[in-house]
Amino acid sequence: MEILVYGTINSVSLALMGLGFAMVYGISRVPNFAHGALYIICGFVTWTLLQKLGLPYGLAIVLSLAANGILGILMYRLVLIRVRGMSISEIISSYAIGLAILEGLRYGGFRGMTYTLPVFMDGMVVIGGVPVDYHRIVMVIIGILLVAGLWLFTHFTKLGLALQGMAQDERAALMLGIDSDFMAMLAMGFGAILAGVAAITILPLGNIVVESGYHVLIMSIAVCIVGGLGSWMGAFFAAFIIGYAQILSVVFLGSHFQMVVALLAIILTLILKPSGLFGQQKELEDRV
Amino acid sequence: MSKENRRKERIDRGIKVRSDGLYALLSWREMAYLIAPRFILIAGLLALPLLMPGLYWQRVISIVCIYAMVAISFDFLAHYVGLVCLGGAFFIGVGGYIAGIFNAYFGMPPLVTIPLAAIAGGGFCTLLLLPCLPLRGVYFAIVTLMYPLFMARIIEAFDLFGGTDGILGIDSFSSAFVEQYFVVGILLVFLFGLRRLVNTDMGLIFTAIMDNDQAVRASGINITHYKALAVFIASAMGCLAGACLTHIYMWSGISQFALDFSILPIAATVIGGAGTLAGPVIGCLILVPISELLRDFGTLRIVFYASILVAFILFRSDGIMAFAKRKYEQIERWTQV
């Protein structure tokens, strides 16, 4: 029962981390290696607004999400748009931006264990003999709502359909009058906001530390690769596979193995089936 | 000439044309023109340890050479074979650990462990990367980026070879002088060896694999065999660099798998000039000392070199070497359209 409950919670938090990465890659084909940095910076912006400026929690969250979205859009507008299509330059430049943000935060004095966000709701409830605090339940609900919302957004709104069209075939979308650069920019903004949502829902469970930026990046890559790059639903299901695998490994092997499981999942998936479990890429394009 | 209807024209210098091929033997001047850049690089690298004030900066030169070896191997794999390997730290770490194990546990001297680490480490890395060889582009890049992280976690999880403490008590080189000339010498051998290699028939096959692997396959050449060979060459170089690093710091540990060793060589390659082999060396000569100078600023130096990297990717994506080559070989002038 413990495995089931904590496996679900872990899986949902992984899904939250991975959704932003999957969205950006799915639409604009830019592997956004600054994802972890966007996650952490949102946490710190919220903390600053909340503790330094004394804004109410809700307002701080909205403002920092907006700031994150703008940051993502600027990143695309100023840098990534120029290297789009050259996958290696995309990886290197987005990774360099992420590195600059993370290490800049570290230099700016954001280190140590002193930065925490308050939880949404105090208290806990016992589910099937396992005590779970309300915040984790809220997190699971937010995660599920987010996935459902994204599904509705991409299937029933004009903008969402345009984004989906671009994800399927960029040239055809261009011919139908969809501005691909604008859409990719939007996707980047949404991705950054999703990273921010993940940060705000997950970070109250622990401290905000710069190192977890790298951790989040690796986890979101793991989720996206196993699920198939560019497939959001794949990422969601893969989060459950990796999430349960991690909890099982922690229970039966030890906490060191949590990361080993994720990395092993990436490597094995890429070797055995590079398009992932739910990937839409053609096999031939990925492998010789 | 108004600004709109003019363009920049680039014409080869006379001496460049004259010194192509056999005609270079016409006069001393042509030969000097050909030899000068190579001579400056070799003499400069050999003189650097002597010019440096103090032990600290001499040590920096050794580190420059180690990074340069990894950068050359990245450049070779990415721009001559078409395999973008973001896991330079994997080679450094494997080489470092192998050298450390053979030195600390079996008592072999550095002169034995370093070649051993190169060969055994190259074999080990090739074996592990073998299943990934059919992958292309982003997929190969991501999987190689994950390998060093994976190795570090495995060592941590199973508490292998001293676990998080690493292997201590490794012999250093017999003197600082030997250390520097050893790494500088190896670097020069690798640099000119690879330049020669990419012009041989084997190099031609490597480039063909990068351009169109299906065509190479259709010619009856086993591409996996050649890719594995290229990975072996590159990883042996990286492992040798890692072994040198272990003996310089007299320690090998998990931090040798850190992302630093993957990113800095790539930054150096982008800045120096991708696909030139000499470019990465120049990039390292610029980046590593800058990063040492900024050591007082702590992590701000990482911000600094990440920004340089992004700026070069955006505005000077061909790098310093291509720019210098153009200036050396061509004249530029504005002409009327």
CB spacing of A286 vs B136 below 8 angstroms: yes
| Overall residue count recorded for chain A in this entry | 288
Chain A residues touching residue B138 (CB < 8 angstroms): 31, 87-88, 91, 229
**Chain B residue at shortest CA distance from A285:** B136
Would the pLDDT of B1 be above 60? no
- What count of other Cβ atoms lies within 10 Å of the Cβ of residue B23? 11
Q: Say whether B299 and A107 touch across the interface (CB within 8 A).
A: yes
Q: Nearest-CA neighbor of A241 among A259, A220, A225, A226? A: A226
Would an 8 Å CB–CB cutoff place B160 in contact with chain A?
Answer: no
Q: Taking the domains of chain A in order of start, what are their residue ranges?
A: 2-212
Half-sphere exposure of A15 (CA within 13 A, CB side): 30
Work out the number of other CB atoms within 10 angstroms of the CB of residue A52: 8
Q: Which of residues 235-254 of B touch A (CB under 8 A)?
A: none
Partner-chain residue, chosen from A87, A92, A103, that has the shortest CB–CB distance to B266: A92
Mutation target to probe the A interface, by most A beta carbons within 10 A, among B84, B211, B314, B317 is: B314
pLDDT exceeds 70 at position A232: yes
Residue A255 main-chain phi, psi, to 5 deg? -70, -20
ipTM of the complex: 0.78
> A139-153, A218-232, B7-21, B164-178: which has the highest mean pLDDT?
A139-153
Alpha-carbon gap: A97 to the closest alpha carbon of chain B (Å): 7
Shortest CA distance to B85 belongs to which of B118, B132, B155?
Answer: B132
Pick from A89, A263, A286: CB nearest B150: A263
Classify residue A280 as exposed, middle or buried by CB count within 10 Å of its CB (0-12, 13-18, 19+).
Answer: middle
Say yes or no: B181 contacts chain A, CB-CB below 8 A: no
Reported as a single tens digit per residue, the pLDDT across B182-218 is 888 889 999 889 888 888 988 889 888 888 888 888 8
Least confident of A205-219, B71-85, B119-133: A205-219
Q: Which two tokens stand for residue B288?
A: 């590593």
Among the partner residues A82, A254, A259, nearest to B314 by beta-carbon distance: A82
Instruction: Give the Å distances, CA to CA, from B213 to A67, A87, B133, B138, B195.
Output: 45, 19, 12, 16, 22
The B residues from 35 to 94 touching A (CB cutoff 8 Å) are 78, 84, 86
A284 confidence band (pLDDT: 50, 70, 90) = very low
Tell me the backbone φ, ψ of residue A131, rounded to 5 degrees. -75, 130
Task: Please give the backbone phi and psi of residue B10, each rounded to the nearest 5 degrees, phi first.
Answer: -120, 125
Task: Please classify residue A65 by burial: count the beta carbons closer than 10 Å to its beta carbon, then call 0-12 exposed, 13-18 middle and 19+ buried.
Answer: buried
A279 pLDDT tier (thresholds 50, 70, 90): low
